[in-house]
Amino acid sequence: MNRLEGLSKLTGRERYIDDLRVDGCLWGMTVRSPSPRGRLREVRFGKSIDWSKFVVVDHRDIPGPNEVYLIERDQPVLAAEYVRHVHEPVVLVAHESREMCRRAVAAVEVIVDDEPAALDFRLPPTPEQVQYGADNVMKRLKIEKGDVERSLASAAHVVEGVYETGAQEHVYIENQGMLAWVEDGVVIVKGSMQCPYYVLNALKHALGRDERGVRVIQSPTGGGFGGKEDYPSNLALHAALLAMKARRPVKIIYDRSEDMASTTKRHPSRVRHRTGFDRSGRMIAQDIDVLMDAGAYVTLSPVVLSRGIIHGAGPYSCENVRIVGRAVLTNAVPFGAFRGFGAPQTQFAVERHMDVCAKALGMDPIELRRINLIRDGQTTATGQVINDGTDRVAILDRAAEMIDLRGKRAEHESFNATHPHLRRGVGIVCIYHGAGFTGSGEVMLKSRLKVAGLADGRVEVLSSSTEMGQGTTTLFTKLAADRLGLEHADVLVPEPDTLRAPNSGPTVASRTAMVVGLLVERACDDLRAKVGLAESARGAAVKTALVAWHHAHPPVGAELFGEAEYVKPPGISWDQDNYKGDAYGTFAWAAYAAEVEIDLRTYATRVTDFVAVQEIGRVLHETMARGQIQGGVVQAIGWALMEECKWEKGAMKNCQLTNYIIPTSDDVPPIRVEFLENPYAHGAQGAKGIGELPMDGPGPAIVNAVAAALGVAPCEIPITPERLMEMCEVAHVG
């Protein structure tokens, strides 16, 4: 089965939001704050512009509360009296000509009485920089198991380390874009997004309307990676406000520079580890402190921090663990969701730290991991008992075998001793990723999905799960077709439209195939039952029954639905107050290995081989699953080696693809992927989530390989040539 919309994309016929021609449509554009923090004194509209030709919107045009509805409501739709970051939206303009919009935006001056901004999350704020509580810490979380201090005191070895990761820009190739119009009194928004119901809730709240007054339609979405999880709510509100005032359709399409400058990125992090081992190398205590930069508003940071700390101890068994997490508000452009959602940061730290520990203990890093990898019957940091029958040591050994760890090490030793300027190394890591919302998140979401039985015998899957390249349309088609014994052509999966699609939750957290996919199967079962068929009915019997139902239920157009709502898998329990219990229904497990070559003339690091071995329940679609892993690995290679946000007043200075560098085809090797299968009872066809897993491993695998090649101990990514040169000069390498 090929990707269903694949040919449409290959031939350029797929119509993204910027491809839609809309009669009478205006372009919208945004005037932004020049200051990272301060009181908004005045907005001056330049005299060079005939403002009567423009639609202009500011905070006074917002019918409801001036709040972007999310976890907290601290972020205004448009700044009213105060700004908290550079590029914060203040005024919106619309005009028929995009060029005139650009000129108008340039002619508006936003005057801010600057106040001291907090721009380095690692430093405690000065009293003048405090903007939240006593220290700008917006969220504190703690996981505690056993007695860490006592165990550290009795440990044969204690190894410490500090690890830092930088921000990362999503670089979905389709920039953010949204179209809004008003039709029969209903505000309709259509655009590039991951989560139609997040957008719907944001519109309802700030526009002061109920669900009958707003409607959200997802257009084909050119990549998301988390970057279109929360920000589209802001953009949808902007487009809607302009359209309501203009009484005409309005489209806002960011260009690359505006998109990179003003939308969210991966949270920068600093993680401290203090780890106690006994004489045999068994880990007896893990003391972990996680600090994340939330940026200027809360957005999704509390949940990012939560996932981060839950994955912070790595896939190991340890009886005494303390993980403290803090997310701190600064005056940087808000950080938000990005593939992995905090887990790549904390797993970079723990997996890099494992190699640092191995070196301190005089052990082989692979042996140290083998000893400590979690076995069935043992518990994670939150006390979740792992008992899934997966052999995690075998995964590690398979990755080592595929990359030929022993052979490569020996080969590199002689190569590095003789080559004038090239150095080679290999690194290996173990990672895990919990799929679906954390803790009771899925229970609270109460995701719903419908499968409509149509009069011609076909079925239609109605959900809010979006296709953004990861394959939702194809997978849902396959799941429904398999369940009902239908041809793929008999299954329709329309783009989500909140008018028809129930809320299946957001398209995030590696939850679509596993969690929502299961709802597809259960809604198919419900549909079959509704037309009086036995569970074994398949194919022609189903089609005939659907046609007959419609025949028996005039008028024509009567709707027949199979429905499903999320049901918590049995035996799962989570204590949100104490961070104890089953953090996730299941975890995907993996071991990743990287081989690198560093050129000491340029300090450029090149990944020359990469192996990704993972157990993901069941592979639903081989090509798409492999594509998820390969794409995620390459995105993480970028984060590890070259993608660096340069900051000025808390905003990205290098907001262009000319100087924010992502990997090209020539920067990466073929990514060698192997899947191991161990079906998960509560995922569609046994699947576990895989979308985020590949983001977790490459960073530490590459840095471990660089450390092996050079004998230095980098603890920060990206390891750009500049950073590596500095480190090598200090260590007199080369």
Partner 1 sequence: MSDENEKMRVGFTLNGEAIEAEIVPSERLLDTLRYTLGLTGSKEGCGEGECGACTVYLDGLPVNSCLVPTFQARGRRVETIESIPPESLGAMLASGATQCGACTPGVVMTACWLRRHPELLKSHTAREIMAGNLCRCTGYDGIIDGLRDAMSGKGAE
Other Cβ atoms closer than 10 A to 33 = 22
Among 179, 169, 304, 268, smallest CA distance to 225 is for: 169
**Shortest approach of partner 1 to residue 590 CB, angstroms?**
15
**Shortest approach of partner 1 to residue 267 CB, angstroms?**
19
- Contact predicate 41/113, CB 8 Å: yes
Q: How far, in Å, CA of 397 to CA of 577, rounded?
A: 38
Amino acid at 195: C
Q: How far, in Å, CA of 53 to CA of 101, rounded?
A: 10
Tell me whether residue 99 or residue 535 sits nearer to partner 1 (CB atom). 99
Among 473, 714, 446, 492, smallest CA distance to 605 is for: 714
Tell me whether residue 10 or residue 731 sits nearer to partner 1 (CB atom). 10
Tell me whether residue 2 or residue 573 sits nearer to partner 1 (CB atom). 2
Interface residues with partner 1 (CB under 8 A)?
A: 2-3, 5-16, 18-19, 21, 97, 99-100, 170-175, 220-225, 255-257, 468-471, 623-624, 626-627, 629-635, 656-658, 662, 664-668, 670-671
Print the SS3 string covering 442-504.
HHHHCCEEEEEECCCCCEEEECCCCCCCCCHHHHHHHHHHHHHCCCHHHEECCCCECCCCCCC
Tell me whether residue 629 or residue 702 sits nearer to partner 1 (CB atom). 629
Tell me whether residue 27 or residue 316 sits nearer to partner 1 (CB atom). 27
**Shortest approach of partner 1 to residue 670 CB, angstroms?**
6
Print the SS3 string covering 387-439.
CCCCCHHHHHHHHHHHHCHHHHHHHHHHHHHHCCCEEEEEEEEEEEEECCCCC
Name the H helices within 608-697: 622-641, 693-696
**Shortest approach of partner 1 to residue 18 CB, angstroms?**
7
Other Cβ atoms closer than 10 A to 557 = 8
**Shortest approach of partner 1 to residue 671 CB, angstroms?**
5
Tell me whether residue 26 or residue 318 sits nearer to partner 1 (CB atom). 26
Task: Give the DSSP letter string of 557-572.
Answer: T--EEEEEE--PPTT-
Peptide bond into 718 cis (omega under 30): yes
- Contact predicate 45/35, CB 8 Å: no
CA distances from 502 to 177, 332, 465, 561 (A): 23, 36, 10, 12
CA distances from 271 to 162, 166, 195, 344, 360 (A): 6, 12, 30, 12, 19
**Shortest approach of partner 1 to residue 232 CB, angstroms?**
15
What does DSSP assign to residue 219? P
Tell me whether residue 368 or residue 629 sits nearer to partner 1 (CB atom). 629
**Shortest approach of partner 1 to residue 601 CB, angstroms?**
20
Tell me whether residue 585 or residue 638 sits nearer to partner 1 (CB atom). 638
CA distances from 548 to 66, 532, 544, 558 (A): 51, 11, 6, 12
Copy the structure tokens of residue 17.
């939001």
C-alpha triplet 53, 58, 63: angle, nearest 5°: 115
**Shortest approach of partner 1 to residue 585 CB, angstroms?**
26
Tell me whether residue 52 or residue 664 sits nearer to partner 1 (CB atom). 664
**Shortest approach of partner 1 to residue 175 CB, angstroms?**
8
Sequence-distant contacts of 95-102: CB under 8 A, at least 24 apart: 95/26, 95/27, 95/53, 95/54, 95/55, 96/26, 96/27, 97/27, 98/27, 98/29, 100/53, 100/54, 101/27, 101/28, 101/29, 102/29
Tell me whether residue 34 or residue 222 sits nearer to partner 1 (CB atom). 222
Tell me whether residue 578 or residue 602 sits nearer to partner 1 (CB atom). 602
Q: How far, in Å, CA of 711 to CA of 380, rounded?
A: 32
Tell me whether residue 399 or residue 583 sits nearer to partner 1 (CB atom). 399
**Shortest approach of partner 1 to residue 668 CB, angstroms?**
6
The alpha carbon of residue 216 and the mean position of all alpha carbons in its chain are separated, in whole angstroms, by 22
**Shortest approach of partner 1 to residue 444 CB, angstroms?**
29
Peptide bond into 36 cis (omega under 30): no
Name the H helices within 208-251: 231-246
Tell me whether residue 97 or residue 154 sits nearer to partner 1 (CB atom). 97
Q: How far, in Å, CA of 622 to CA of 630, rounded?
A: 12
**Shortest approach of partner 1 to residue 620 CB, angstroms?**
14
**Shortest approach of partner 1 to residue 103 CB, angstroms?**
8
Among 94, 67, 86, 70, smallest CA distance to 78 is for: 67
> Which residue is associated with the tokens 């993680």?
271
**Shortest approach of partner 1 to residue 177 CB, angstroms?**
10
**Shortest approach of partner 1 to residue 626 CB, angstroms?**
7
Tell me whether residue 174 or residue 442 sits nearer to partner 1 (CB atom). 174
Strands (E) located in 236-374: 250-253, 269-277, 283-295, 321-329
Dihedral Cα 133, 135, 138, 143, nearest 10 deg = -120
Tell me whether residue 383 or residue 631 sits nearer to partner 1 (CB atom). 631
Tell me whether residue 7 or residue 71 sits nearer to partner 1 (CB atom). 7
- Contact predicate 594/607, CB 8 Å: yes
Among 571, 2, 394, 473, smallest CA distance to 218 is for: 473
Q: What 3-state class would DSSP assign to 597?
A: strand
Tell me whether residue 100 or residue 313 sits nearer to partner 1 (CB atom). 100
Copy the structure tokens of residue 215.
């409607």
**Shortest approach of partner 1 to residue 606 CB, angstroms?**
12
Tell me whether residue 11 or residue 126 sits nearer to partner 1 (CB atom). 11
CA distances from 616 to 310, 609, 655 (A): 19, 22, 36
**Shortest approach of partner 1 to residue 221 CB, angstroms?**
7
C-alpha triplet 40, 43, 44: angle, nearest 5°: 150
**Shortest approach of partner 1 to residue 709 CB, angstroms?**
23
